[in-house]
Structure 1
Amino acid sequence: MAFQCQRDCYMKEFVTTVVSCCPAELKHEVNGKKETLKGFNVKLQDTILFPEGGGQPDDHGLIADVPVIRVTRQGPEAIHFVASPLAVGQEVQVKVNWERRFDHMQQHSGQHLLTALADTMFGFKTTSWDLGRQRSVIELDTPCMKPAQLQGLEEAVNEKIRAHVPVTVQLLSIDDPAVEKVRSRGLPEDHAGPIRIIDIEGIDANMCCGTHVSNLSHLQVIKLLGIEKGKKNKTNLIFLAGNRVLKYAEKSYSTERAMVSILKTGPDEHVEAVDKLQKSVKLLQKTNLSLLRDMAVLIAKNFENNPQKGNFFSLHKKEGDNEFMNIIANEINTEETLVFLTVGEDKGPGLFLLAGPSRSVAEMGPWVLKMLKGKGAGKNGRFQGKANSLAQRAEVEVFLQQHCKHQTSEEE
Structure 2
Amino acid sequence: MTKKLYYEDPYLTTFTANIVKQEPEYVVISETAFYPTGGGQPCDLGRLNGISVINVEVVNDEIRHFLAEPLDPDITKIEGKIEWSRRFDHMQQHAGQHILSAAFAELFQLQTVSFHLGKESVTIDLDVPEISAEQLQEVEDLANQIILENRPIETKWVTEEELAQYNLRKATSVKEDIRLVIIPDYDYNACGGIHPSTTGQVSSIKILQTEKQKRQVRVEFVCGQRVITQFHRKHSILLNLISTLSTPEEKLEDAANSILFTNKSLEKQITELNNKILQYEAKDLLNESNNEVIGVTFENRTIQDLQKLARFLVEESPNTLCIFVSHNDEKLQVVVAKGKNREENMKLWIQQIILPINGKGGGNEMIAQGGGEALLSSADLLNNALTHVR
TM-score relative to the length of structure 1: 0.77
Give how far 1:59 is off. 2.0
Give how far 1:2 is off. 5.6
CA contact (8 A) 1:20 1:42 kept: yes
Q: Distance in 1 between matches of 2:386 and 2:213?
A: 61
Q: Residues 332 and 18 (structure 1 numbering): CA distance in 2 closer, same or farther, change over 3 Å?
A: farther
What corresponds to 2:204 in structure 1?
Answer: 221
List alignment gaps of at least 5 residues for structure 1.
23-38
What corresponds to 1:154 in structure 2?
Answer: 140
CA contact (8 A) 1:334 1:355 kept: no
Following superposition of structure 1 onto structure 2, how do residues 196-215 of structure 1 map, counting pairs within 5 Å? 196-215=179-198
For 1:64, give the aligned amino acid: N
What corresponds to 1:177 in structure 2?
Answer: 162
For 2:323, give the aligned amino acid: V
Q: Which deviates further from its counterpart, 300-309 or 289-298? A: 300-309
CA contact (8 A) 1:303 1:309 kept: no
What corresponds to 1:384 in structure 2?
Answer: 369
Q: Distance in 1 between matches of 2:121 and 2:165?
A: 32
Are 1:195 and 2:207 an aligned pair?
Answer: no
Q: Distance in 2 between matches of 1:287 and 1:70?
A: 55
What corresponds to 1:245 in structure 2?
Answer: 227
CA contact (8 A) 2:47 2:81 kept: yes
Q: Distance in 2 between matches of 1:2 and 1:182?
A: 29
Are 1:129 and 2:129 an aligned pair?
Answer: no
For 2:10, give the aligned amino acid: C
Q: Which deviates further from its counterpart, 264-273 or 399-408? A: 399-408
Match of 1:260 among 214, 234, 242: 242
For 2:116, give the aligned amino acid: D
List alignment gaps of at least 5 residues for structure 2.
none
Match of 1:94 among 72, 80, 86: 80
Give how far 1:101 is off. 2.0
Match of 2:106 among 115, 120, 123: 120
Give how far 1:363 is off. 9.3
Q: Distance in 1 between matches of 2:74 and 2:344?
A: 77
Q: Residues 257 and 61 (structure 1 numbering): CA distance in 2 closer, same or farther, change over 3 Å?
A: same
What corresponds to 2:267 in structure 1?
Answer: 285
Q: How many residue pairs end up in the alignment?
A: 381
Give how far 1:350 is off. 7.9
CA contact (8 A) 1:373 1:388 kept: yes
Which runs of 4 or more aligned residues in structure 1 lie more than 6 Å from their structure 2 counterparts after TM superposition?
307-310, 356-364, 405-408
What corresponds to 2:45 in structure 1?
Answer: 60
What corresponds to 1:166 in structure 2?
Answer: 152
CA contact (8 A) 1:18 1:88 kept: no
For 2:16, give the aligned amino acid: V
CA contact (8 A) 1:297 1:331 kept: no
Give how far 1:255 is off. 2.1
Give how far 1:331 is off. 3.4
Are 1:108 and 2:91 an aligned pair?
Answer: no
Cα RMSD (Å)? 3.6
Give how far 1:50 is off. 0.5
Q: Residues 251 and 373 (structure 1 numbering): CA distance in 2 closer, same or farther, change over 3 Å?
A: farther
